[in-house]
Amino acid sequence: MSFLAPAFFLGLAALAIPVFIHLIQRERKRVIEFPSLMFVRRIPYQSVRRRRIRHWLLLLMRAAAMVMIIVAFARPFLRQAAVAAAIAGGSREIAIVLDQSASMGYGDHWQRARDAAHRAVASMGGEDRATLVLFGRNAEENMRATSDRGRLDAAINAARVGSDATRYGPALKLAESILGRSPARRREAIVISDFQKTGWTGAEDVHFPDGMTVTPVSVAQDAAAATANLAVPSVTFARASFSGQERITVTAGIANKGSAPVNGVPVTLEIDGHQIQTQQVNVGAAAAASVSFTPFTLAEPNVRGTIRAGSDALPADNVFHFVLAPSQPVSLLVAGGGSRGGSTLYLSNALSIGSAPAFQVDVMPIERITPEQFDNRVVVILNDVAFPPAGAGGVLKRFVERGGGLMVVVGEHTAWPTGESELLPGRLGAPVDRVSGRGGTLGFLDYSHPVFEVFKAPRSGDFSAARIFRYRALEMGPTDRVLARFDDGAVAGAERKVGTGRVIVWTSTLDDSWNDLALKPVFLPLVHQLVRYLAQYEQPASWFTVGQVLDLSARSKSRAERVVVTPSGQRVTQAAGAPGLVELNEQGVYEVRSAGTSGRRPEAIAVNLDPPESDLTPLDPRELVAAVTGQATPSATQPSAPPEVSAVDARDAERRQALWWYLLLAGLLMLAAETVISNRLSRREKFL
């Protein structure tokens, strides 16, 4: 038998009351006065017989009545009956939601989490079923609903900490779906995690209906210890040319997530497995610092680098991987020059500056351009010239359709044949003079377009300072996009997409003949942005983040069979011509080996942790439970259900059995019987 309120047994001390009454009770005798004894010294009446308990039945009835009343208040129930009731119709459906994100690798958090999961399995009754859900960024059913504790324990032992970020939304939605499909009366999700604050935004739209409970089990230690962590969240590179070789300067960012400063942290740069340099750095509390290393020469592609910063309880974020390759210049053909070489002066000078990317510019007069000149070019710029004869007959159009970029800078000498109208955004009109007053200005820029997006922030470029004295009118087509307009509403820049390529027309010159834009600070970044966009240039990624999906077929023109080797050594084969999608689920360096490329360095892909995963600030589990259930609950560190019957089962079993009612009634009846018997004994002894 068990009791809901065993503290009432302290009332058993009241059993001493009947005994005390029986021992101190005095029977009053009728005193007869004798005259001859009036002056004799009075002697107290004593009787040994009266100091003994004479009515044992009466004492036992009084004590039994008090015991039954006290036990009734303790709310007894039969545990075996509760277990039998649970088996008959009260089985539990449990979803053990186990966090295996990268932050669980901190200290002994993962071992404590697995121990908590094993305890949850041990709390299962004979007919209870449990599902093991592992989650990080996403969630999966690792072990479907089963009553086999051995299989569940084996699945928990086989689970490992991953490299994913923490996201509670998908895990809770999956747990709610699992419990929602169950016919069990009692349904519970046991969430075992360090409850990282960055994993919950409050906008996940997760709602557990009535009848489902969420039990949080936190494995995080005290908040001060949990936030003590050093991480390498990012690395930057500065490229420069020296003696015809490319030199790279690596700068690593070091973040201290703890509340105490750290001094003398060794930060090491490794290139292709060789230690290049180690420097010491001091990082303040909840602050960041940077370390720059000596430049090194980059001569071949797929050079692997690693930054290592100190050591702590979470070693995964103390390492940062990257892959470098020499820069590939963007090849441009500028049609212009000749006798008017000054018209390309500003444009050529602007393109000669820059290293990310570098521009390889060839300037030619249109009469010297041949159809072969378009080969191996990425962008062609027609700078205030007529349509090149070498581009006639669809040659230039096919160049654009295959992904090339074409920029038409309109000026005095620009002419466009009618047969090539499909290539030009809009139709050119007559020149418009704005020489009166101070001239015109640029009145509208489409900051949502990639060309002008970098100028969107305040103090990032003032185009209104440029004065426009002349431009060519442009009648837009229905599918063309306006990039910029002058203050009078006329089109300054427009775009048309042809095939996979892009064509942009600028209706005023890019020198000082029709405007003074070339003399303004915004000219250089504007020209670079235009060429980058037309070339569809993207800076090669030196690293990726865990969870990203990479299309290998877009990175290489080869359609041969590929073998992808993950950082853990797993090999994934992609058939020739098959889609090259790879989900980057592990921290480290992936290798991609294609058929027919033996003898060359395999392509390398560096993958790092999501930087927010290094922030170990804990979330109060009660907030999460309240958000998904609408009810507050005390935070827990251990599963609360005992092996046989949980607290909820005990209350329910006691309510159904109602043993306290019978005990209370028996106690009252016993008191009534005791009263009757004691009255009869009193009357009988009175006449003795």
The string over 98-107, giving b where at least 16 C-beta atoms fall within 10 Å of a residue's C-beta and e elsewhere, is bbbbbbbbbb
pLDDT at 560: 79
Tell me if 592 sits within 8 A of 170, measured CB to CB: no
Segment 642-656, tens digit of pLDDT:
444 455 456 656 666
Segment 416-429, tens digit of pLDDT:
998 898 999 999 99
Candidates 616, 632, 610, 614; CA nearest to 197 is 616
How many residues are given for the chain? 688
pLDDT at 224: 45
What is the 3-state secondary structure of 336-386? Answer: CECCEHHHHHHHHHHHCCCCCCCEEEEEECHHHCCHHHHCCCCEEEEECCE
Tell me if 5 sits within 8 A of 76, measured CB to CB: no
Segment 100-147, tens digit of pLDDT:
999 999 999 999 999 999 999 999 988 899 999 999 999 999 999 999
The string over 293-314, giving b where at least 16 C-beta atoms fall within 10 Å of a residue's C-beta and e elsewhere, is beebebeeebbbbbbbbbebbb
Query: 341 to each of 363, 384, 524, how far by Cα in Å?
Result: 9, 11, 19
Which burial class, exposed, middle or buried, applies to 148 when counting CB atoms under 10 A from its CB (0-12, 13-18, 19+)? middle
- The radius of gyration of the chain from alpha carbons, rounded to an integer in Å, stands at 43
Please tell me the CATH code under which domain 330-535 is placed: 3.40.50.880
Strand partners, 562: 574, 594
Tell me if 266 sits within 8 A of 647, measured CB to CB: no
Candidates 160, 163, 131, 136; CA nearest to 148 is 131
DSSP state of 283: E
pLDDT at 81: 56
Tell me if 468 sits within 8 A of 514, measured CB to CB: yes
Tokens (6 digits) for 657: 């059995």
As averages over each run of 10 residues, the pLDDT of the chain (688 residues) reads 69 68 56 55 52 68 81 72 52 94 95 96 90 96 93 96 96 95 91 94 90 92 66 93 86 93 95 95 94 93 95 95 91 76 81 83 91 92 93 93 95 90 92 89 95 91 93 92 96 95 96 93 95 91 94 75 92 84 94 77 94 92 91 53 48 66 82 79 64
Candidates 33, 219, 226; CA nearest to 109 is 219
Specify the pairing of strand 330-335 against strand 379-383.
Answer: parallel
Strands, E, within 165-318: which ranges?
A: 186-193, 212-218, 230-242, 245-256, 262-271, 274-283, 288-292, 296-298, 303-309
Q: What is the largest CA-CA distance in the chain?
A: 165
Residue spans of the domains in the chain: they are 2-81+658-686, 90-225+617-651, 330-535, 544-608
DSSP state of 440: B
The DSSP element (H or E) to which 150 belongs, if any, is helix 149-158
Cα(119)–Cα(570) distance, integer angstroms: 33
Cα(128)–Cα(179) distance, integer angstroms: 13
pLDDT at 114: 96
pLDDT at 354: 74
Determine if the peptide bond prior to 357 is cis (ω within 30°).
yes
Tell me if 23 sits within 8 A of 53, measured CB to CB: yes
Cα(266)–Cα(476) distance, integer angstroms: 60
Cα(340)–Cα(365) distance, integer angstroms: 9
Q: Domain 90-225+617-651, what fold?
A: Rossmann fold (3.40.50)
pLDDT at 15: 64
Tokens (6 digits) for 85: 């009731």
Specify the pairing of strand 603-608 against strand 544-545.
Answer: parallel
For the beta sheet containing 562-565, the strands, ordered from the edge strand earlier in sequence to the opposite edge, are 544-545, 603-608, 588-594, 562-565, 571-574
């995964």: which residue's tokens?
316
Tokens (6 digits) for 337: 């020059």
- Start-to-end CA distance of the chain, whole Å, equals 47
The reply to whether 330-535 shares the fold of 90-225+617-651 is yes
Query: 214 to each of 141, 164, 450, 630, 633, how far by Cα in Å?
Result: 18, 23, 46, 11, 9
